[in-house]
Amino acid sequence: MLIQQMERLLDWIEDEQEHKGKSMLVLAVIAHGDSNEWLMSAERERSWRVPDLITSMCDNKSLVGQPKVLFLQACRGGKYMYIVVL
């Protein structure tokens, strides 16, 4: 996503009126990241810190007591993951 799209999505997550009456929030994010907990935009700019994203989801008063599920796939810098064959 472009950084502007990521900012709009974060605004949507934080908008209490948007989630009023909803029974849960599910968010799936696939992005590049870095070793300092940042997710990167398509322009390779830092856009979201993972802890801040989680806090935004949990602090939405319209979703208190409702399940919040975050699926996150992001690299964390220069470490490589090895394939495991089962």
pLDDT in tens, 10-54: 999 999 998 898 899 999 998 888 888 898 888 888 888 999 999
Confidence (pTM): 0.76
Domain positions in the chain are: 3-74
Q: How far apart are CA 39 and CA 28, in angstroms?
A: 13
Q: State pLDDT tens for residues 47-82.
A: 889 999 999 999 999 999 999 999 999 887 666 667
Kindly write down the DSSP assignment for every residue of the chain, as one continuous string.
--HHHHHHHHHHHH-HHHHTT-S-EEEEEEE-B-TTSEEE-TTS-EEEEHHHHHHHHHH-GGGTTS-EEEEEEE--SSPPPPP---
